[in-house]
Amino acid sequence: MEISLGVWVALVVGGHLGCPFLGEMLTFLWYFKILRRPDEFINAKRAKYGDGVGMYRTHLFGTPSIITCLPAVNKFIFQSEEAFSLNWPNVDLVGSSSLVAVQGSSHARLRSYVINVISKPNALRRIAGLVQPRMVAAFESWALKGRIKAYDESKKVTVENIGKLFVSLEPGPLLDTIDKFIEGVVKGFRAHPFNVPGSAYHSALQCRRQLEAIFRVELEKKRNRKEAVKTDLMDGLMQIKDDEGDKLSDKEVIDNIVSLVIGGYTSTALSTMWAIYYLAKYPNVLQKLREENMIISQNKNGDFITSDDISKMKYTNKVVEETIRLANIAAFVFRSVTKEVEYKGYIIPKNWTILVWIRYIHTNSENFDDPMCFNPDRWNNPAKPGTYQVFGGGPRICAGNMLVRLQLAIFLHHLSVGYKWKLLNPDADMMYLPHPRPVDNVEITFSKI
Ligand code: HEM
């Protein structure tokens, strides 16, 4: 008897597709928005269907899907790029030749360019120098205000640094416009991709076009310069050559600048916001952080810290890792199944979606002791193999992971040596969509030590 793949999966992988059209979307929203306990969504499945290999079938975001939530199966998905492709439904928003939109050898080629300009030691050394003046100025201005919302302010300093790093822009009206357009594009990622006037997606596309136009003007200015100087990431992407001596096209440069700007904006702002939040909640951690950074600061005699200093700041780096682990900025990542695949006897059907539920790995006590406690000392030992997937894995592992770690360490340095702060709403509720954050955007009093 022939058996359809859908039925076959129904027989072996635990889970259910929920009601017609909506699937399990209401249950998902119940756990994420109403109960505000997102991890219970997976715990409920584990309790009902058992662990198996950590795969559950469901129907979410409009498609039949398989959730994966254990380290081994997540790793399998991340590493099998041929069968599970990153497939943005809204490729027009990310740009057809951006890193996140291309596949296979084109992806590997483009990725080597991008990694060169944002992750190599030389790049990080330059970036460390470039981002500090804006961070220091931001802290000064926060102290003058005395009371701020950390997320809102973190977004401002992040966009200033993005402007400087990516296209050498100083704060001013153009950067404010860019800020507005970035926010517009980011909103479009959460919207249904219906390109009709008045829709969020339509307006996000308009914002993307405006961003593209702004960056094209900057690109032309650079091209018309007399000498080729390398001062920012756009210069880097314009000048770099691969082994065959080929350069990126203008479209590739612009699409990648836009996607890096967007990839770096919310993630960096949320990481710094969470650092402020956790340090306020764990004064003993702040104390140890401050001690390490005071010593570095005294040795620097007023100079900025360098990426070499940061590599020696052992406790600070643990605080960075712990912040990123617990913040769980990316709860899950999506893959499209491009061909039928078998994993440990289970069939994963073609054309289904995979939701790699990375958040669950970091909040599960099987992987981290007392997982919801902010404890940088847990990093005295490396995490158990495969249990730290905050940046994804395999060929698509986050291209900005070194950049965000560096920026967070610098942020922690200036914050801990110079300032004190207090949460105004220490028991504020959490929201988890589209990203986790306290509902008050971390409102604090802020002053010099
Ligand atoms: C704590 C902060 C961050 C987190 C948690 C994070 C998380 C992730 C994750 C989970 C992925 C994998 C997505 C997938 O496999 O589908 C990813 C990819 C990516 N991230 Fe990040 N990210 C962060 C910061 C950044 C920053 C600062 C940038 C850039 C400035 C960036 C740029 C990218 C890019 C370009 C990719 C796509 C890589 C590729 O497809 O080859 N990210 N990020």
Q: Report which ligand 1 atom has the smallest distance to the Cα of 98.
A: 35
C-alpha gyration radius of the chain: 22
Q: Which residues of the chain are modeled with pLDDT < 70?
A: 1-21, 89, 228
- The token duo for 329 is 């900025």
Pocket lining: 333 vs ligand 1, CB cutoff 6 Å: yes
Pocket lining: 131 vs ligand 1, CB cutoff 6 Å: no
- The token duo for 211 is 């961003």
Pocket lining: 435 vs ligand 1, CB cutoff 6 Å: no
- The torsion angles phi and psi of 448, rounded to 5 degrees, stand at -70, 155
**49: CA distance to ligand 1 center in Å?**
32
pLDDT, residue 194, reads: 80
Q: Report which ligand 1 atom has the smallest distance to the Cα of 100.
A: 40
**Distance between alpha carbon 387 and the CA centroid of its chain, in Å?**
17
pLDDT, residue 231, reads: 76
Contact of 269 with 155, CB cutoff 8 Å: yes
Beta strand extents in 86-140 (DSSP E only): none
Pocket lining: 260 vs ligand 1, CB cutoff 6 Å: yes
**136: CA distance to ligand 1 center in Å?**
26
Tokens 């069968």, residue located: 83
Contact of 444 with 147, CB cutoff 8 Å: yes
Pocket lining: 99 vs ligand 1, CB cutoff 6 Å: yes
Q: Report which ligand 1 atom has the smallest distance to the Cα of 78.
A: 15
Pocket lining: 111 vs ligand 1, CB cutoff 6 Å: yes
* Cα gap 357→305, rounded to integer Å: 36
Pocket lining: 362 vs ligand 1, CB cutoff 6 Å: no
Tokens 């893959």, residue located: 335
DSSP string, 273-341: HHHHHHHHH-HHHHHHHHHHHHHHHHHHTTPPP-HHHHHH-HHHHHHHHHHHHHH-S---EEEEE-S-E
DSSP string, 327-394: H-S---EEEEE-S-EEETTEEE-TT-EEEE-HHHHHT-TTTSSSTTS--GGGGGSPPPTT---TT--G
Ligand 1 pocket mutation, candidates 398, 403, 410, criterion most atoms within 8 A of CB: 398
* Cα gap 117→166, rounded to integer Å: 10
Longest dimension (CA), the chain: 79
pLDDT, residue 449, reads: 94
pLDDT, residue 14, reads: 67
Q: Report which ligand 1 atom has the smallest distance to the Cα of 334.
A: 16
- The torsion angles phi and psi of 447, rounded to 5 degrees, stand at -155, 170
Question: How distant, in Å, are the alpha carbons of 80, 105, 337 from that of 83?
Answer: 6, 15, 6
Pocket lining: 271 vs ligand 1, CB cutoff 6 Å: yes
**397: CA distance to ligand 1 center in Å?**
7
Q: Sheet of 55-60: strands edge to edge? A: 55-60, 63-68, 353-356, 333-337, 84-85
Write the residue with the smallest CA distance to atom 25 of ligand 1.
400
Nearest CA-CA partner of 209 in 92, 78, 42: 92
Pocket lining: 109 vs ligand 1, CB cutoff 6 Å: no
35-74 as b/e: b if 16+ CB within 10 A: eeebbebbbebbeeeeebbbbbbbbbeeebbbbbbbbebb
Pocket lining: 100 vs ligand 1, CB cutoff 6 Å: yes
- 301-320 pLDDT, tens digit per residue, is 889 999 999 999 999 999 99
Contact of 423 with 280, CB cutoff 8 Å: yes
Does the annotation list 398 as a binding residue?
Answer: yes
Pocket lining: 403 vs ligand 1, CB cutoff 6 Å: yes
| Terminal Cα distance for the chain, rounded | 75
- The torsion angles phi and psi of 126, rounded to 5 degrees, stand at -65, -45
pLDDT, residue 4, reads: 38
- 199-210 pLDDT, tens digit per residue, is 888 999 999 999
Pocket lining: 204 vs ligand 1, CB cutoff 6 Å: no
Q: Which domains does the chain have, with CATH numbers?
A: 1-98+329-362 (3.30.43.20), 99-328+363-448 (1.10.630.10)
pLDDT, residue 394, reads: 94
**147: CA distance to ligand 1 center in Å?**
31
Tokens 């380290």, residue located: 71
**42: CA distance to ligand 1 center in Å?**
23
- The token duo for 353 is 């979606």
Neighbours of 413 (CB within 10 A): 26
**189: CA distance to ligand 1 center in Å?**
15
